[in-house]
Amino acid sequence: MNRFSLAVSGGIARVTEAALGPYQTAVIRIGFSATWLLFLLRELPHRHELYGPDGPWSWDLAQQLVASNGSFTTLMWSDGRVWFEIVYALAVLSSALLMLGWRTRTMSVLFMAGVLSLQNRSVFMGDGGDNVLHLMSIYLVFTRCARVWSLDARRAARDRAARARGERVTDRTGPALWGVLGFVLVAATLAGRMQGGWLIPALLWTVWVVQALWWLVGRRARTDEPRVLLDVIANIVHNGALLVIMAEACLIYATAGWYKIQGSRWQDGTAVYYPLHLEYFSPWPALADLLSASGTMVLLVTYGTVLVQVAFPFTLFNRRVKNVLLAVMMTEHAVIAVVLGLPFFSLAMIAADAVFLPTGFLRRLGGRAARARDRLPRRGGRTALPGQRAHESPEATHVGFGA
């Protein structure tokens, strides 16, 4: 019983004292925001046909669908072309800033709003990766995904250095963002634009109020207890969201694998052959012909795909086997991106897979990237920052309204 109590207390301490997986959450933040950003930039010339007023799915049809399913989209606030351009531009901007980790909490909310607004406007535009991105954009709001590899982490390090020198640190950008977004939120609510389901509006209001509470505690609290309490709650929410992201990735592969098992083409080992010869999925016909020329190769790839997808959730208990299958799945998605012409589906799935990457590998990767960046020529001097990593200090998670 004593051992059991110690194990329980140790588990509670682990969940409450720290936000787990700082490198993994940073990777999925960068991965999903980069995927959405690249998609929006590629479709920039076709944006009006995909999601705007010139699309086959008209504004009236979208309004009827949104009224029936209660989905959230700011594009239903107005059918004007100017409003559409504003929403699209904000979606591009928030994706870029989230990828860089600037005011990450605020940008994660705007990123979610941009993804939901465009995807719910035209629900028939997508290739499967949009469903993953749709869900992950909501989960990211609950994570503390800027503790490493972000501009917020660098700003936190500079603030700590300034406080150590006795300087006063004042954040004006955070309160300004909070005020502007609060004005938009209040105006939209009073104007009756927050129609449909209650989940997303409630989430927007909750984040807005929590950001104000976080700022007040940081500025007005005379003791550390309120701040510690907020940190504990934020860690619990982050760790819960991280668990949901991992479970979601496992569920995607498990359901895909078990549904494939029921298909006759997957059972006889020929399923991979057919998409290779569909005109829509053949950007490189010669390459598709080369890959499908061998019946043995098609059989191995077909059965191997099913085996990897079904087995992956069970390999999480064995680190070495999990890492091997993870590399296989990422390679498979990279091949799909090239051979079938589905780059954004593959990027979304690789970003989801990245949550299972080993911490040691990610730290080595980050170290190599930092050394490569340091070799680049720079103008002017460079200010040395403290050697302590941002994720090791609770203060690194508090960077004004962008925490």
Cα–Cα distance measured from residue 381 to residue 219, given in angstroms and rounded to the nearest whole number: 33
Q: What is the pLDDT of residue 168?
A: 85
Report how far apart the first and last C-alpha atoms of the chain are (Å, whole number): 40
Q: What is the pLDDT of residue 251?
A: 94
Burial code (b: 16+ CB inside 10 Å, e: under 16) for 364-395 equals: eebeeeeeeeeeeeeeeeeeeeeeeebbebbb
| Arithmetic mean of pLDDT over the chain | 87
Q: Is the pLDDT of residue 204 over 70?
A: yes
Q: What is the pLDDT of residue 394?
A: 39
Q: Is the pLDDT of residue 396 over 60?
A: no
- Per cent of the chain over pLDDT 70 is 93
Q: Is the pLDDT of residue 382 over 60?
A: no
pLDDT tens string 78-101:
888 999 999 999 999 999 999 999
pLDDT tens string 143-171:
999 999 999 999 999 999 998 888 888 88
Q: What is the pLDDT of residue 379?
A: 56
